Structures are given as C-alpha cells and as structure tokens.
Structure 1
Amino acid sequence: MPFGRVSSGLPTGGGRAVFDGRMPTAPGDLRVEGHGIEPVPQDNRYGGAGRLFTVWFAPNLTMTGVFTGTLGIVFGLDFATALAAVVLGTVIGAVPTAYLGTWGSRTGAGQLPLARLAFGRAVALPGVLQWASSVAWDALIGLFGGDALAQLCGWPFWLGVMVMMLGQGALGVLGYEAIHRLQILMTFVLAAAFALIAIRMAGDVHVVTSGSAHGADRAGAFVLTSTVALSLTLSWAPYASDFSRYLPRTTSRSRMFWYTLLGLVASFLAVQILGLWGASVLTDQTAAGVDQLLGGGVPGSLGLLAVALAALCSNAMNDYSGSLALQTIGVRLPRPAAAALAAALGFPLVLWMHAADTTARFQNVLLFVGYWIPGFVAIVVVDWLVRREPVTDLAAATAGPRRAWPPLLAFVGAFAAAVPFMDTGLYVGPVADALHGADLSYYVAFLVALAVYAPLRLQEEKNA
C-alpha cells in the first residue's frame, strides 16, 4: 500500500466512521477534530519536529510537578541528594517516551492504537488502564488548577474545579491542533510565570541543606524520590505518538526524539527543583503557598492564573489521549465526546483527593496510575524492534489472528513481580520495606516483561 491512506483494519461502514472524521489541515486550523484512531493519511500530514518541544514542555509546568518535587524533602533528603535523585529519575523516564513519540510520524497512528501491533485484541487491558490513568491525571493536575482558580476568583473549591474541567474538556474536544497551538503560546507565558516564582523564592526561601534520613533510610528515600520523578516522565509514554501522528513521514526521527526529550526533561526538572527549593512554603495548599510567596496583589493573582492555565494545558492532553484510548478498546463514541467524558469523570476524583490527606492520596494515585506502564513499554518496544520491516500499513500489520497470551502473560507477570517492590501509602511491599522504602517496582516490571515477552515474540517471528 502506498504511503497515502494507511488503514487501521478497523470495522468498515458505520462502525469505522466513528473512528474517522474531520482532520486539521494546517497549523492554526482550530476547528473541531472529529478524527479518532484511524491512522492519519500522508496527504493530511503537516508541521515540523520543533513543535514537539513546546507540546511536551508547557503541559509539565504545573504545580503537580512542583508538589512532586517537595516529596524528596518530605522523605528526609537534603536538597543536593534529592536533586540528584530527581534528575536521574526524570531522564530515565523521558527516554522511552521520546522514543515512542517518533512512531507517530512513521505510522500516522496514536500510541494505544499502535499497541494493537503487540497486543492484538488483548489491547483492551492496557487500553482500559490508559483511559483510567488519563482520568486520574485529570484529578492529580486539576486539584491544583481548580484550587488556584477558586482562590483567584473567590469561588468555592468545587466551582473552581468544575470551571477547570469545562475548559480542559473544551480543548480536548477541539483536539490535536488546538492543543499544539495553545502549548506554543503557553510555553512562553508559563516559563515567565514560573521564573517569577523562582525570583521571589530567591530572597525568602532557603534550601534544606540537611535531611532527617540517614544511612539505609537515606538510600531508600533516594530511590523512592527517583522513582516518583521517573513516574512523571514515563507517564506520558502511552500518549507519546498521539501528538506526533500528524507530522509527515519524512520528519527526522532524531530531531523528534531530541525535541521531545528536551521538552520533557527541561520542564519537569524546572518545576521539581522549585518544589525541592520551596518545600518549606509549598505545602498541601500549594495554590495558597504560591499566592503568599508572591506577596498577594497583582503578582499573586498572576501566579494563581499561571497555575490554573498550566493545569488546563496538561489536562487537555489527558482528555485527548483518553479519548483515543477509549476508542481503542472498542467503544464507538466519537472522539470529541470521549474527550468530554474523560474531563467529566475527573471532577469527582478531584473532590475525593481534596477531602482528606492530600499528600498521601496524591502519592498513592501518582504511583498507582503508572505501575502498569513499564511492562507496556517493554512489550510494545520488543514487538516493534522484532518486526522485519517498518510499519507502513497498520491494517496489514494487525491482520490475522494474534496470540493474545504472550503479551498478556508478560504484562500481568510484570505487574505481579513488581508488587513486592512497591512503596505507597496504601501498601508497602516486603522487598521495599526491607530496602528501607526503596521503590524498585518500575525497573522490575520492565525487566520482567522484557525477559518474558522477548523470547516468545522472537519465536513467533521465527515461525511466521
């Protein structure tokens, strides 16, 4: 098949029409994108690799990242040690995300639709998890965005969250190009806002030079802090090619990789360093801490507005990718409606997180939404590398019966193997406990999935 119309192998007729639809035609085309998980034809591709920097930079300048940064100090580390842990985890998690993002231009397909190459019909399992994760991320980020909006406008918390969800849902409905254009603008706006926060902190806030954790406890806290940072950048992996699927097939893969990696690492390190630095003033009530830090008045209001806008940018991407995940598992709901649904479901989860111990619930949700991702990444990467030729026809590549049990065995086995290594407020595995809180579950899950799936997939390819 030529590089023009690349079919996904989805049902024809009315069922397939739900997954197809109007596509943006050029930069700045802000009409509603009705296009779902059908691959984007080559004739409809546009844009350059440079837009991947802004689409992965702006959405991470959120108070979620700042609050995550404070956890290193909460775990008992000093600033320098916590910083080293954050840098390590951030880079490790960003590499697979940047690599997966290069697949979008090669296939015109989103990340979960591409996972059918490896999982076949069994893609329903990671698809459901991805959809649920997108809703959970709506809550993690909307918690701070809604709080900031409520304080800025003098509204009750629930109303701030509701307005936040309506705004992000609208962007998710508009789709791919609207999100890309917003992130270009917000890269400059949010970078300036967070720079203002850093300048204000420079005079009033001092870093923590000594921590309460020592010896083995300090090593455990280092690993846990690194894993939390890793979970942030790796959490974008199941979304990665969703935001590169309209790029032309000829787009440089190396440029795509480096622009994505730089956007992820630079943004996440910026906000987490602010969190480490300002841990003494940026508490559970993070929006209030920002307002107080900036001295209230106009600077404080601008800071709160930036927090709200940052949440809007990030959650619009959650809703967009959530809509593609929902279609991937077979739900015949138009993409715009699926995006609106994800935003609506995030609302009660935000209220639940806000109702009690925010720190504990935040950490629990943050880690649990990502425990499945390392195994998923290992499986789809192995399948991609084992294929003899590049995927240019998704329908042909997914045609015919595929054994569901090898990827399912690796996927479930990876998660099961990781359970003893987990460390959350709800559950601490025996290995994590013995290692003084060190959470190695992400690494274990990846390696187990790799060890189980790789020989099975290689044997399958040999027999083909």
Structure 2
Amino acid sequence: MDCTASRSERATLIERRSIDYIPEAERHGNLFSQFTLWFGANLQITAVVVGALAVVLGGDVFWSLVGLLVGQILGGAVMALHGAQGPKLGLPQMISSRVQFGVYGAIIPLALVCVMYVGFSAGGTVLAGQAIGELLGVNNTVAILIFAAVVILLTGLGYRIIHAMGRVSSVIGTLAFLYLFSNLLNGHAWSTLLANRHFTVASFLLAVSLSASWQIAYGPYVADYSRYLPKSVSALRTFLAVFCGTVTGAQVSMTFGVLAAALAGSRFDGHEVAFIVGLGATGIIATILYFTIALGKLTITTLNAYGSVMSVATIVTGLGQRREISRGARLAFVILSVGVSSALALAGQHSFLKTFSSFLLFLLVFFTPWSAINLVDYYWVTRERYDVPALFDANGRYGRWNLVGIAVYVVGVLVQMPFVATGFYTGRWVDALGGVDISWIVGIVVPAVLYYAATHFVQSRVPDRLILPNTLGDA
C-alpha cells in the first residue's frame, strides 16, 4: 500500500474494513481514546440501575460500594485482557475464537453473542426512548424509531465516529454526574450514609457479582475497539487504558445508583429516568439531563450494534471462507441488527422486556467459559503466537472444529448451572448460598484450568511466532 492510499484511509470518516486484519499503515488512535470510550460508555442509566440493585436487594451503602468496586476490578481485569489483544492481532475480538474452537466451531459462541447484544440493545433502546420522548415531546414508539435511525447511522460510519462519541460522552457524562451527585447528596452527609455497616456474605457477594458480570459482558467485543491501535502500543498500556476507563465509569454510575436507592427508595426503584431528571431544578436542566440519558444509551447501544455486526460478519465469512465483507453487506447487517433490537424494544417497552432481560442475564453463563478459554489460550498456551491467515481457512492450521475447546466450553457452561440465579433460571445450590449467583466465578476458574491442562495432551497447533498476512508485508 503506497503513502497516498495510506493517507486516504486515515482521512476517511466511513470505515472501510470489517473483520479483516488491519495493516500497520492504517493503524491510528491513542490510548486516551480507549479510556474515554469505556469511561463514557459506562456513564449511563443502566449501570446506575445495576448499582441500585445492590441496595434494593438487601445490601447497605458501605459494603455495597466496596463489593461493587471489587467486582469492577475482577471483571474489568478480564475485560481489559481481551482489549489488550487488539493492537497485537489487528482483528475483532470474536474471530480469535477460531483458534480455540475451529473456524466452524467458533460459530457456537458467536451466535450466542449476537443474541445477547441485540437483547442488551433492546433494553437500552426502551430507556433511551423514554428520554427522547420527553426531550422531543413525541410518544415512545416514535422516539424508539428516531433512536434506531441514529444508531444505524453511527454504526454504519464505524470505528472513528464511535471513538469520537466516546470522547463526547465522557465530557457530558462527567458534568452531568457531578451535577446529579451534588443534588442527590444535598442535605445528606457521606459519613451518615456510610455509617450503617451491616456486613453479610450474601449481600457482599451479590454486589461483587453484579459489577463483575457487567464488566465480563463486554468481553466478546472489547478488542473490536482497540484493533486499530499501532502494533507498537504495548499490551500493558492498552490493558490499563481500557481497565481504568471501564472500572472508573462503571463505579461512578453504580455509586450513584447505590446512593439513589438508599436515599430515595421507592421513588427511584422503577422510576429511574423520572427520578434522575427530577433532580434538575429547572426546565433547561431537565432537558439537558434527558439528553445526557439518551446520549449515554446511544453510546453503548452503538457499541452493541457494532459488536453484533462484527460477530455476524465472522459467522458469514467463516461459512463462506472469505476474509471480509463488502460495505453494502456490512450496512445490511447493521440495519438487521438494529432493526431486530428495535422491534424487541417496541414489543417489550411495557412488560415483555423484564422477562427477556432475565433471559439475557442467563446468557452470560455462556460467555464466562468462552472468556476463560480465550484468555488462557492467548496468554498462556499460544502466548500470542497466532497464525492470522489460518483463521480464515477451514482447512488450515485450526481446522473446522476444535473438539478440545468445544468440550471444555460445554463443561464450563454445565458446571455453572447449580449456581445460576436469574429470573429465567435458578440453580439448585443458590438457596444454600443465600440467593447469590456465583456462577461467573465457577465459569471462569473451571474452564480455565481444564483448557490449560487439556492442551498439554493434544497435538500442538501453535506456530513458532505470530504469523500475519503476507500481502501486507508484516509476516
């Protein structure tokens, strides 16, 4: 690729690449944009609600905040380890699953990823619709359709615009939360709120599980947003940028949720949008807060849509033995993904959504084993030595199916079942644990150990070094 082409690629706003390898000449961006993307993506109302659950379900303020922070650190570390793969491999997150599962076998977690992120987008669209409806004075249906159109536009533009939106969300979200905290705590001292310290193992583990699961859910697409960074950017620095952004942003939002639930009780629970905007004393402040809520959901919903499109593209190219998809196909996948999530939002804006949300939380059971297998393979088995061209060849090094990876994955899912506690399904050992869901711990530890042990008894597929596409001059 000559210099003119390189400059042209750097200058374009619309992303040209899909799931194919990003050559060094097209790498751009910096670590600060990784921080702002994940910081801004977590300054949003759904994270506030998750934090509030720690108190609504029986915890006190002090130990809920500590438990949430512990969960952020544990889950954020898992999430950021995925993000650190981006600059090294130059690939979206889920395509690397072909190393552990095979080119066709990777479709198993990929299909579930698509379901989960479309579902999460549906939930966020409902909340965004409420905010936009109040902001523009339209009904929720029209508001949801407006929101969907904007998500399609931003997702279609791709990587650059998503990072730009993260920077905007960081600034606006920070100002909004400073205002909200000051109004919420007006007349209430921190010392009084933190004075009641009634520690119970069940409540503490609940808080840890809420935030850890929140962070782990980002795992299947975090490298999608770091893959354009230059290869010279170290894995440690990428890890720290992503980790600090996601942990800080989520903890700020969840802390507000804890305090709101503790101070407002029933005025907050179930009326989150109205309560937050109600903290604004004037009409213009209320308008700004509605805009902030909508912007926060727009950021994360665009991330979900983009990630699901990358997953769909990985499935399609795996079956069709192709390295990339056309811009037209990518746009079609964007419209399909956003269309499905918007349809679910329209159908579930009253009652269906709560049941569907429980189902989505249940789907997290299927991603902790994937995360464990992917991380153990990348950092401890292959030690970053991937054969990137072979990822696109079902007859190559990684084959169609990797039975070891698939078997460990299935075991990793099954061993979690007794520990799952969701509205959709509850395991038989949950009551003995005080109703706390610790399935994510089991889902990380068991498959990680099994996969590491199992790979020592099969023929190695690991190359001597990282192999990159020859046509790009990086091999």
Fold match by TM threshold 0.5? yes
Q: Distance in 1 between matches of 2:334 and 2:132?
A: 22
Counterpart of 1:118 in structure 2 is: 100
Give, in whole Å, the separation in 2 of the partners of 1:169 and 1:74.
35
1:413 aligns with 2:411: yes
Q: How many Å apart are 1:460 and its aligned residue?
A: 2.3
1:343 aligns with 2:338: yes
TM-score (norm 2): 0.86
Match of 2:30 in 1: 48
Question: Does the CA contact (< 8 Å) of 1:134 and 1:342 recur in 2?
Answer: no
Give the Cα separation in 1 of the matches to 2:331 and 2:178. Answer: 35
- Greater Cα offset, 398-407 or 155-164: 398-407
Aligned partner letter, 1:64: T
Whether contact under 8 Å (2:420, 2:439) holds in the other structure is yes
What's the counterpart of residue 316 of structure 1? 302
Moved more, 200-209 or 231-240: 200-209
1:1-150 to structure 2, matched below 5 A, reads 25-26=9-10, 29=11, 31-120=13-102, 121-150=104-133
Which moves more between the two structures, 275-284 or 96-105? 275-284
Out of 150-159 and 168-177, give the one that drifted further.
150-159
Gaps of 5+ in 1: 6-21
- Kindly indicate whether the alpha-carbon contact (under 8 Å) linking 2:381 and 2:455 is maintained by their aligned counterparts in 1: no
Q: Aligned Cα RMSD in Å?
A: 2.8
CA contact (8 A) 1:97 1:237 kept: yes
Aligned partner of 2:366 in structure 1 is 372
Q: 1:23 to 1:454 in 2, by over 3 A?
A: farther
Question: What letter corresponds to residue 162 of structure 1 in structure 2?
Answer: L
Q: 1:325 is aligned with what amino acid?
A: S
Q: 1:122 to 1:432 in 2, by over 3 A?
A: same
The residue that corresponds to 1:192 in the other structure is 175
Range that drifts further, 128-137 or 449-458: 449-458
Aligned to 2:287: 301
Shift of 1:48: 1.9
How many residues are matched? 441
Rounded to whole Å, the distance in 2 between the matches of 1:230 and 1:456 is: 27
1:164 and 1:276 map into 2 onto residues whose CA distance is 28
- Distance in 2 (CA, whole Å) between partners of 1:205 and 1:159 is 39
Shift of 1:98: 0.8
Q: Which residue of 2 aligns with 1:394?
A: 388
Tell me if the contact between 1:420 and 1:429 (Cα under 8 Å) persists in the aligned partners. yes
* Residue identity in the other structure for 2:140: F
Q: Cα distance, 1:210 vs. partner?
A: 9.4
Residues 130-170 of structure 1: CA deviation (Å, up to 9, x unaligned): 11111012123222211111112222112212211211121
TM-score by length of 1: 0.88
Identity, % of aligned pairs? Answer: 24
Superposition deviation, residue 403 in structure 1:
4.7
Q: Quote how far apart the aligned CAs of 1:365 are.
A: 4.5
User: How far apart, CA to CA, are the structure 2 residues paired with 1:419 and 1:409?
Assistant: 16
CA contact (8 A) 2:45 2:253 kept: yes
State the 1:357 CA deviation. 7.8
Going from structure 1 to structure 2, the CA distance change for 1:138 and 1:406 (only over 3 Å counts) comes to same
In 2, distance between residues paired with 1:59 and 1:31? 21
Question: Is this contact kept in 2: 1:374–1:446, CA < 8 A?
Answer: yes
- More deviation, 204-213/287-296: 204-213
Instruction: Please list the CA deviations of residues 278-322 of structure 1 after superposition, one character each: whole Å capped at 9, or x if unmatched.
Output: 112422222111121213511111111100011111111111111
Identify the range of structure 1 (363-372 vs 169-178) with the bigger mean alpha-carbon deviation.
Answer: 363-372
Residue aligned with 1:115, SS: helix
Decide whether the 8 Å contact of 2:28 with 2:230 is kept in 1: yes
Counterparts of 2:203 and 2:130 in 1: how far apart (Å)? 29
Q: Is 1:439 the equivalent of 2:434?
A: no
- Asked if 1:178 is matched to 2:179, the reply is no
- Note if contact 2:101-2:406 (Cα within 8 Å) is conserved in structure 1: yes
**Structure 1: distance between partners of 2:348 and 2:68:** 24
